Structure 1
Amino acid sequence: MIDLLPPDLAQAAAIALLLTSFAGSFITAAFGIGGGVAFLGACAILLPPAAIIPVHGVVQLGSNAIRALMFLRYVIWAALPAFVIGSVAGVAIGGSVVVSLPGWLVQSVVGLFILWVVFSKPPKWLSRWPLITGLLSSFLTMFFGATGPFVAGYVKTLQLDRHKHVALQAAMMTVQHGLKVAMFGLLGFAFAEWALLISGLIASGAFGTWVGKQVLGKMSDHGFHRILNVILVLLALRLIWGGVGAFF
């Protein structure tokens, strides 16, 4: 097995990533958000720095595409065209920026945005602007990796039931990660040597999504949104704490 792994990646690290991919996909399918950030954290610890965002992007592309297919009949298609246009622009701008935004600033702003969405009543215009959501989140994802909480903040303003929330979030993140992976390919990242591990991570995530879907089906909309709010707040506080810590 070790010979089949990418250079500088131990077998124990690969197993840990497989387990985290399963757990992350389960969390996102069952509760709407959180799995991508958890998996990014594992990638940051276990992968070489240059591979963290590209590998995370491919795995999340596969996981979200599978989730979107599983929840296909619940997708709100009207929100996607504008989001796609914004995402194309955001990835293009992000890919052309030579000096990345300060990590502490990105984390802090996203964290504050999430808290604002959870604890206040966001203006109605926010729910009508998927293009802006696509542009900003796709720009940030080129530097930050996991902007699912940012997109979830927009989806939350639509006040969907639990199945539609998970479905639309998955469809939007599939678009975003697909564009990001394409950009990293154009920028020269060698995905081939990671192909086998990535396939295993996507398969593990698919199983996690299936299990999470079963849990979601047994949950009420009220219970889903309560758990979603708790997860969003915890993610926001973690982002702000990390941003403040990095600044000082």
Structure 2
Amino acid sequence: MALALIALSFITSLITATFSLGGGTLMVAVLALVFPPAVVVPLHGAIQLGSNAGRALVQRAHVQWGFVLWISLGAVIGTVVGGQFATLLPETLFQIAIGGFVLATTWLPQPKIVGKSPIAQFVGGAVISAVSMVVGATGPLVAIFIKGLADRRQLVATHAMSMTLQNILKIAVFVALGFAFAAMIATGFLGTAIGSRLLVKVPESAFRWGFKIVLTLVALDILREAVF
């Protein structure tokens, strides 16, 4: 199981580095099938730290620090507030929240938000970080605030840096890691390094549909387990 999860960290990091989104959502969906819901969110944050930090490091020249600053300042407040709710939710509600979030971010149209305002970025960072303490993978929500960036490398790099800081805050609120988790962080960085090279080379259409189907099946199984 540990080896399978280490491989999963590599694959999801490669996906995220290539397409900017998706790997974190797949990671949290699979973790929810293996671990108790209360463990999924802090574990997911720890693993994604390796992936996002690696992506931010590889693409560091393209980071737009203005976006990162305001989203991260809001994240400080949101992480603390969201952590209070994360410790109170029953296990069944945890599973429903994770499964429902995966389905919603996979299939529903994303809201149109003007992300250039520092106030909007600050409030968005707070809300998204609070949500991330319950459902884990909020990369698609962070992307809403930076999708106006014209250069895809800037989008990937800025998204990675914002998520890295969010993961650090999340880990600070939750708990320490074991050896297997450290290995998952390392393979997450390796997957990111390779995926970044594929960023402008891999066609998206067929992959996007297959990826949505996989996420849908995993989310439905999470919901089935929670209900039955």
TM-score when scaled to structure 2? 0.80
Match of 1:57 in 2: 45
- Displacement of 1:213 in angstroms is 1.0
What RMSD in Å do the two structures reach over aligned CA positions?
A: 3.2
- Displacement of 1:26 in angstroms is 0.3
Contact in 2 for aligned 1:112/1:240 (Cα 8 Å): no
- How has the CA–CA distance of structure 1 residues 72 and 126 changed in structure 2, closer, same or farther, with 3 Å as cutoff? closer
Q: 2:130 aligns with which of 122, 134, 139?
A: 139
Q: Distance in 2 between matches of 1:210 and 1:93?
A: 33
Contact in 2 for aligned 1:65/1:171 (Cα 8 Å): yes
In the alignment, residue 109 of structure 2 is paired with which amino acid? W
Unaligned runs of 5+ in 2: none
Aligned length: 220
- Displacement of 1:115 in angstroms is 2.9
Q: Distance in 2 between matches of 1:237 and 1:144?
A: 16
Q: 2:108 aligns with which of 104, 115, 120?
A: 115
Match of 2:184 in 1: 201
Contact in 2 for aligned 1:114/1:232 (Cα 8 Å): no
Matched, 1:152 2:143: yes
- Displacement of 1:29 in angstroms is 0.3
Per mean C-alpha deviation after superposition, the further-off stretch among 237-246 and 58-67 is: 237-246
SS at match of 1:17: helix
- How has the CA–CA distance of structure 1 residues 174 and 161 changed in structure 2, closer, same or farther, with 3 Å as cutoff? same
- How has the CA–CA distance of structure 1 residues 14 and 229 changed in structure 2, closer, same or farther, with 3 Å as cutoff? closer
- Displacement of 1:240 in angstroms is 8.4
- Displacement of 1:230 in angstroms is 5.8
TM-score when scaled to structure 1? 0.74
Q: Distance in 1 between matches of 2:64 and 2:15?
A: 21
Q: Distance in 2 between matches of 1:71 and 1:142?
A: 26
Contact in 1 for aligned 2:79/2:130 (Cα 8 Å): yes
Structure of greater Rg: 1
- How has the CA–CA distance of structure 1 residues 230 and 135 changed in structure 2, closer, same or farther, with 3 Å as cutoff? farther
Contact in 1 for aligned 2:131/2:138 (Cα 8 Å): yes
Unaligned runs of 5+ in 1: 1-12, 186-190
Q: 1:182 aligns with which of 162, 168, 172?
A: 172
- How has the CA–CA distance of structure 1 residues 69 and 100 changed in structure 2, closer, same or farther, with 3 Å as cutoff? same
Contact in 2 for aligned 1:33/1:228 (Cα 8 Å): no
Per mean C-alpha deviation after superposition, the further-off stretch among 199-208 and 100-109 is: 100-109
Q: Percent identity?
A: 32
Q: 1:31 aligns with which of 9, 16, 19?
A: 19
- Displacement of 1:239 in angstroms is 9.4
In the alignment, residue 89 of structure 2 is paired with which amino acid? S
Q: Distance in 2 between matches of 1:153 and 1:234?
A: 22
- Displacement of 1:82 in angstroms is 1.1
- Displacement of 1:28 in angstroms is 0.1
Q: 2:201 aligns with which of 218, 223, 248?
A: 218
